[in-house]
Structure 1
């Protein structure tokens, strides 16, 4: 009996061990299967994310290619790209597409110079030996279908016009020609311009070279003219019919002035000469221009601009631009040097507060920059024009209106409300357009074989773009 009981006890202990082993094995198997499942899910999610990324970037690329030929399709594809995978590339692409819808052709006539009043109401475009005057209030009114033509033409130069400028209120205009003469115009009634006076760039008419740049102070009382002999002439326009020459300074011994900017009060200026040197000038006493400081980039500068308050200066060259703070004009502080996707910079413009810049060059697009954080300028959008290149740009005081001119004509941009577009391009694209759709044919054409149903297509004939979920794939 004792032997039998012992055997039974041994069997019981063995069975318990087997049950324990089975439980342990089951737990280990469950852990292994769970871990394998997690690995599989992680790999599947990673593959799905990569698929979404590739699809989104592909759609964004197609959208960019279609902006001119099919803007509606470009918008829908760009929005789908952001919905599927929102990153810097897809968002920038959608913003560029939305901004592209805000551009229009002002004139197909080639123009090398443009100017804009501070309120964006009056524009000047130069072509040959004449300058056209435009009333943009009617051009920008969406209720007006048949856009009016120019309202006046400024004539009087014997040779081509090389510079134009407007006062903030648009009532005083300057047109400078290759004949060395700058004409002062009264545009109080822009449809009936009045020629007030002619200004010589140098100390005498014979001393004046071709006018390359011109600027007028906010109140229209101070004008600064630069010519290709290197003369920078300051004029008092308090009596526009009898301007008084205040000073003439040769910026460099053997170099011309290619670009310059003027503060709103006429008390400060910045110049870029033919050698690429950037110089800040104190014009507190207009009869005695004083060089305050020199600004240097790693390479020679090609263009410059100054904010209306005279506290911000921007200068640039091929692929690079620099930003300076001029709270103390005698001691400029470099706040940023940033890369620019332009092989050269032909012209640039700043808003009154110096927080928005427009740069242009040998490209069919002007580049808008957000300078509100001086130490970190950020690209905002590309303004794709109609020209092979852009020679001249202008911004209204608040950046709401922009002009870009070149061999292909002049483009007008309505940028009012752009901040909302940049902040949330998805919302801007879907606002008032919740029916944005991509049909099966376009999906098959542009989606690279991605499964239609994974992104909300299902059994429908169209994909409602505004309702694509970022993680729907």
Structure 2
């Protein structure tokens, strides 16, 4: 029995209640402080992340501006951007910068068309105005060797198209060339220094050759002309070509033409944008298989004849021709180039190069036909790109236009895309950014957040990747 007076018992119960209240209040205050602290930390981290993202994107933009004028600085700034915050934008910017560093001018002379052998060793360029009668022949062997500083001029020139050269084609082995306008000339390039004019293929109908294509072995030629006709020739004996057929392919001029490696499938595009697939299993009787599009600017076909690209200024469509009578469209992707001047596929159909106005060449990965993925852009090429061509495996690129022709060595592109940071640091592990340049390009961002204490230079390849 509790013998304490009633008043003392009441005071005791009051003390317990007060202590309980005080403890509860303290716990509530502590919880509030924790919540506020966590909220502050989240907000601080969010603001810090936003600052890093803004800083990284700003550096990436500076890198893009400097690609042509100062490629070394562009590489350092692009790498710093990825180190600070790696996202699709900064990675794509660094990849484009690294790709730009792999291109060099072949000739400043304008060229409207280019052609390339399968191994990327032999190239053809024309005068670019459709009037000049010369096609330059280049041996790119030394151009693709970075150890050779002095690059040779063209080997020789092909002359004979009196009305000017509008189009041309080169066989996979680089030994047979076609140059065309009103008539198409067949050339033997076995000896590059002394090309031999083998024969002339007369223009078909009332229009000269506007588009040319050769099979891989150089024995089948397909010519599209301004009257809409498609002619198939047998060049097994290049000194005595045999015309196998002439087919009315379109109601308007044939502006583009592609041929599979075996010469069994052709794709033509006319001035009205119609793209048509042709079965040339019997080259003496071409059979129209299907129409793919009605508003195309250009088209391309893979060597195996299974993949076709159809493109215009707004989008590109990929088609599968396993069933030529019923082609299947596998994907559509947006390519805001402003215009579509040319496109080309690698032999396996897994890489595409699209070309448009100035600074608008782009490479795409088509390994998954339903999900095309952008690989890189030919940034830094500040001229209009009118014509592009790829080596068989996509390792060598020629890009041509009114401002000249450039050759790109992209044989390690897969490594660059997979790990642009490693590619940027290869051979440049001591690449540095001074404190003054940091302030210049970052707008005064806190140097101490990224540099080693006491250092006046930032070794970009050693930046802490955990910052991103």
- TM-score, normalization by structure 1: 0.95
1:407 aligns with one of 397, 402, 405? 402
SS of the equivalent of 1:365 reads coil
User: Deviation at 1:386?
Assistant: 4.3
User: Deviation at 1:269?
Assistant: 0.4
Residues 101-120 of structure 1 aligned to structure 2 (within 5 Å): 101-120=101-120
- Which region of structure 1 is more displaced relative to structure 2, 213-222 or 364-373? 364-373
Q: Give a deviation string over 1:113-141, Cα, whole Å, max 9, x none.
A: 10011111111111121111111111101
- Which region of structure 1 is more displaced relative to structure 2, 399-408 or 420-429? 420-429
- Which region of structure 1 is more displaced relative to structure 2, 78-87 or 264-273? 78-87
Alignment-derived partner of residue 433 in structure 2: 438
User: Deviation at 1:341?
Assistant: 2.2
1:268 aligns with one of 265, 268, 290? 265
SS of the equivalent of 1:69 reads coil
* 2:201 equivalent to 1:199: yes
Is the CA contact 1:388–1:407 (under 8 Å) kept in the aligned structure 2? yes
User: Deviation at 1:221?
Assistant: 0.4
Residues 242-391 of structure 1 aligned to structure 2 (within 5 Å): 242-253=240-251, 255-296=252-293, 300-384=295-379, 386=381, 388-391=383-386
Is the CA contact 2:97–2:379 (under 8 Å) kept in the aligned structure 1? no
Q: Give a deviation string over 1:143-184, Cα, whole Å, max 9, x none.
A: 11111111111111112111111111111111112xx11111
SS of the equivalent of 2:427 reads coil
User: Deviation at 1:208?
Assistant: 4.8
User: Deviation at 1:7?
Assistant: 4.5
User: Deviation at 1:231?
Assistant: 1.9
Q: Could you list the runs of 5+ residues in structure 1 that have no partner in the other structure?
A: none
* 2:190 equivalent to 1:188: yes
Q: Give a deviation string over 1:386-444, Cα, whole Å, max 9, x none.
A: 46311111001100000000000001000101011111111111223221221111111
Is the CA contact 1:232–1:250 (under 8 Å) kept in the aligned structure 2? yes
SS of the equivalent of 1:137 reads coil
Alignment-derived partner of residue 30 in structure 1: 30
User: Deviation at 1:20?
Assistant: 2.4
User: Deviation at 1:103?
Assistant: 0.4
Taking a change above 3 Å as real, the CA distance of residues 471 and 40 of structure 1, as seen in their structure-2 partners, is farther
Is the CA contact 1:99–1:381 (under 8 Å) kept in the aligned structure 2? yes
SS of the equivalent of 1:145 reads coil
User: Deviation at 1:340?
Assistant: 0.7
Distance 1:167 1:208 in 2: 27
SS of the equivalent of 2:467 reads coil
Alignment-derived partner of residue 174 in structure 1: 178
- Which region of structure 1 is more displaced relative to structure 2, 20-29 or 339-348? 20-29
Distance 1:142 1:191 in 2: 24
Distance 2:288 2:369 in 1: 24
SS of the equivalent of 2:276 reads strand
SS of the equivalent of 1:240 reads coil
Runs of 4+ aligned residues of structure 1 deviating over 6 Å after TM superposition are none
Alignment-derived partner of residue 216 in structure 2: 218
User: Deviation at 1:199?
Assistant: 0.7
Distance 1:4 1:267 in 2: 112
User: Deviation at 1:5?
Assistant: 4.9
SS of the equivalent of 2:166 reads strand
Q: Give a deviation string over 1:209-234, Cα, whole Å, max 9, x none.
A: 23221111001100011121212111
2:134 aligns with one of 114, 124, 130? 130
* 2:444 equivalent to 1:449: yes
SS of the equivalent of 2:361 reads strand
Q: Could you list the runs of 5+ residues in structure 2 that have no partner in the other structure?
A: none
Q: Give a deviation string over 1:282-305, Cα, whole Å, max 9, x none.
A: 1111111110000026xx101011
Taking a change above 3 Å as real, the CA distance of residues 42 and 74 of structure 1, as seen in their structure-2 partners, is same
Alignment-derived partner of residue 462 in structure 1: 457
SS of the equivalent of 1:56 reads helix
SS of the equivalent of 2:14 reads helix
Distance 1:472 1:423 in 2: 20
Residues 219-238 of structure 1 aligned to structure 2 (within 5 Å): 219-238=217-236
Distance 1:447 1:361 in 2: 32
Alignment-derived partner of residue 425 in structure 1: 420
Distance 1:355 1:170 in 2: 23
Distance 2:43 2:210 in 1: 62
Alignment-derived partner of residue 143 in structure 1: 147
Aligned length: 463
User: Deviation at 1:84?
Assistant: 1.1
User: Deviation at 1:23?
Assistant: 2.0
SS of the equivalent of 2:142 reads helix
Alignment-derived partner of residue 78 in structure 1: 78
Distance 2:31 2:97 in 1: 50
Is the CA contact 2:82–2:421 (under 8 Å) kept in the aligned structure 1? yes
RMSD of Structure 2 on Structure 1 (CA) = 1.6
Is the CA contact 1:71–1:97 (under 8 Å) kept in the aligned structure 2? yes
